[in-house]
């Protein structure tokens, strides 16, 4: 980051006044020191306030990343300069060599413009984009769905990451929108917090407000185990992890949510039944694998339509489709649509699709489907650009 910052500074230096140069250097030094301090504080187990940990840290990062992206123009400029210098050298053009090869004004201005464009877009994403709650209407057709379940309204939400909110107001707004939909069932597919369960305590009264006719079913995500906060070499590692999980169970219970930890439930309407199965987090690669499908499936009537909750969509290809072909639809979250991308009637794109083939919306392979929710909150970058926070309204039908 320091290298990119220095490179950007020397690239545009001749285009800004002395006053702005001093402001630039001061800002860079302060932000770099803050980022270093914030990173040190995080890894040494200090828990600073959300404002500092999320927003000020995120704001500085936005400026740095915008500079990094804008450097592309300066690299082009420097490549042209190297070419022109080599040409002058070969031709022994003394005048050009002595006076130096000047920067191209157009490319310098493009770099400044690109920085401005990205920085303003990312800041807009922090102040507005992160709270632009959007309802996605989905018709989910399932083979063998009992008649009494046709038209059942499921609202799915995911990745609340409540530790990123300065107050409960955004949650209150989103939950009011959800309750207005009068859902029959609500699925919450994990990542309630960022680091530790304590982040949820200030929002406990709000969490209780989520209402559905046949209940709220929830699971855990990779952020809900304290794995990004407690370090294995801490003396009280096991104790802290256990405390984190027990408190997490209590938070779900107090909210009135039915937390499924490798468990299942039967939902019965007028004598007809479907199964809801919830696994603990299972992610491919470096992600923890607490999920146990076999255990979660114990006692499930295999003749029922099975709806599976699994936080990480990579679980679907890795295990669900292979080992449990009877799971009609899996409900996941986790990707957040990277909180960055383009989504409209013509284009649906985010860099996260290079990592997760199923990253947003409904997918089908053979007789199985998966719905990936884009998440309601945010983590890391404290906002969203192009991929809005999602409330999914899924209406069941018979295929
Ligand atoms: Fe998440
Ligand atoms: Fe996640």
Same domain, 74 and 147: no
pLDDT for the residue 353: 97
Residues spanned by the domain of 241: 133-398
Q: Which of 17-21, 207-211, 291-295 has the lowest mean pLDDT?
A: 17-21
- Cα–chain center distance at 1: 23
Residues 378 and 312 in one domain: yes
Query: Average pLDDT over the chain, rounded to whole?
Result: 94
What does the block give as tokens for 142? 């399932």
Same domain? 76 vs 215: no
pTM of the model: 0.91
262 and 138 in contact (C-beta within 8 Å)?
no
**pLDDT in the model for residue 106:** 85
Does 343 lie in the same domain as 209?
A: yes
Clarify whether residues 113 and 156 are in a common domain.
no
Q: What is the mean pLDDT of residues 185-212?
A: 98
148 and 115, same domain (yes or no): no
CA distance 156 to 178: 9
Ligand nearest to the CA of 193: 1
pLDDT attached to residue 45: 72
92 falls in which pLDDT band (50, 70, 90)? confident
Same-domain pairing of 215 and 334: yes
Centre of ligand 2 from the C-alpha of residue 183, in Å: 24
Q: Point out the ligand nearest to the CA of residue 287.
A: 2
Measure 34 CA to ligand 2 centroid, in angstroms: 27
146 pLDDT more than 80: yes
Ligand number, closest to the Cα atom of 389: 1
CB atoms within 10 A of CB 200: 23
Q: What is the pLDDT of residues 26-58, one digit of tens each?
A: 999 998 888 888 888 877 777 677 888 788 888
Task: Using the mean position of ligand 1's atoms as its centre, give its distance from the Cα of residue 268 in Å.
Answer: 31
pLDDT number for residue 101: 74
Same domain, 261 and 322: yes
CA of 161 to the centre of ligand 1 (A): 7
In the prediction, which pLDDT does 316 show? 98
Residue in the block written with tokens 């401005």: 116
pLDDT: is 49 or 271 the higher one? 271
Q: How far is the CA of 395 from the centre of ligand 2 (A)?
A: 25
Whether the pLDDT of residue 243 is over 80: the answer is yes
> Which of 127, 147, 174 is at the close of a domain?
127
Residue owning tokens 């309630």: 192
Please check whether residues 144 and 66 belong to one and the same domain: no
Kindly report, residue by residue over 289-308, the tens digit of the pLDDT.
999 999 999 999 999 999 99
Mean pLDDT calculated for residue range 87-99: 80
Which ligand gives the minimal distance to the CA of 220?
Answer: 2
Q: How far is the CA of 179 from the centre of ligand 1 (A)?
A: 22
Cα–ligand 2 centroid distance for 285 (angstroms): 13
Which residue, of 68, 100, 127, is where some domain finishes?
127
Q: What is the pLDDT of residue 158?
A: 98
Last residue of a domain, one of 93, 109, 127: 127
Tell me which ligand sits closest to the C-alpha of residue 192: 1
Q: For residues 380 and 188, what is the distance between their CA atoms, to the nearest angstrom?
A: 21
Q: Confidence class of residue 113 from pLDDT cuts 50, 70 and 90?
A: very high
> What does the angle CA 372 – CA 374 – CA 378 come to, to the nearest 5 degrees?
140
CATH code of the domain containing 210: 3.60.21.10
Query: Count of domains in the chain?
Result: 2
In three-state secondary structure terms, 342 is strand
For residue 294, the CA-to-ligand 1 centroid distance in Å is 25
142 and 207 together in one domain: yes
**Shared-domain flag, residues 107 and 138:** no
- What token pair was written down for 238? 């096991």
Same domain for 65 and 15, yes or no, is yes
Residue 396, SS3 per DSSP: strand
Ligand with minimal distance to 283 CA: 2
């Amino acid at each position: 980051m320091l290298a990119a910052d220095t490179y950007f500074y020397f690239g545009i230096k001749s285009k800004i006044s002395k006053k702005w140069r001093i402001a630039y250097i001061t800002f860079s030094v302060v932000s770099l020191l803050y980022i270093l301090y914030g990173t040190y504080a995080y890894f040494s187990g200090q828990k600073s306030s959300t404002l500092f940990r999320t927003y000020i840290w995120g704001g500085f990062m936005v400026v740095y990343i915008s500079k990094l992206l804008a450097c592309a123009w300066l690299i082009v400029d420097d490549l042209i300069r190297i070419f022109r210098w080599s040409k002058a050298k070969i031709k022994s053009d003394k005048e050009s060599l002595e006076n130096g090869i000047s920067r191209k004004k157009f490319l310098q201005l493009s770099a400044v413009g690109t920085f401005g464009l990205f920085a303003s877009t990312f800041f807009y994403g922090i102040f507005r984009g992160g709270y632009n709650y959007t309802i996605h209407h989905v018709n989910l057709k399932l083979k063998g769905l009992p008649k009494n379940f046709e038209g059942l309204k499921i609202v799915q939400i995911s990745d609340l990451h409540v530790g990123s909110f300065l107050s409960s107001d955004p949650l209150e707004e989103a939950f009011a929108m959800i309750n207005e939909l009068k859902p029959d069932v609500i699925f919450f597919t994990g990542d309630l917090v960022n680091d530790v369960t304590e982040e949820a305590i200030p929002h406990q009264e709000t969490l209780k407000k989520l209402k559905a006719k046949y209940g709220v079913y929830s699971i855990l995500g990779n952020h809900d185990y304290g794995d990004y906060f407690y370090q294995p070499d801490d003396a009280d590692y096991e104790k802290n992890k256990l405390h984190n999980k027990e408190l997490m169970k209590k938070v779900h219970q107090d909210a009135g949510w039915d937390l499924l930890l490798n468990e299942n439930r039967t939902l019965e309407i007028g004598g007809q039944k479907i199964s809801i199965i919830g696994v603990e987090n299972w992610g491919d690669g470096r992600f923890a694998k607490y999920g146990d499908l076999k255990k979660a499936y114990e006692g499930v009537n295999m003749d029922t339509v099975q709806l599976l909750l699994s936080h990480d969509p990579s679980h679907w290809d890795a295990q669900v489709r292979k080992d449990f072909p009877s799971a009609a639809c899996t409900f996941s979250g986790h990707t957040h649509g990277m909180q960055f991308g383009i989504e409209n009637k013509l284009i649906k794109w985010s860099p996260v699709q290079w990592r997760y083939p199923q990253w947003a919306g409904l997918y089908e392979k053979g007789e199985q489907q998966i719905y990936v929710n884009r998440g309601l909150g945010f983590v890391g970058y404290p906002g969203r650009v192009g991929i809005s926070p999602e409330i999914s309204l899924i209406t069941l039908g018979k295929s």
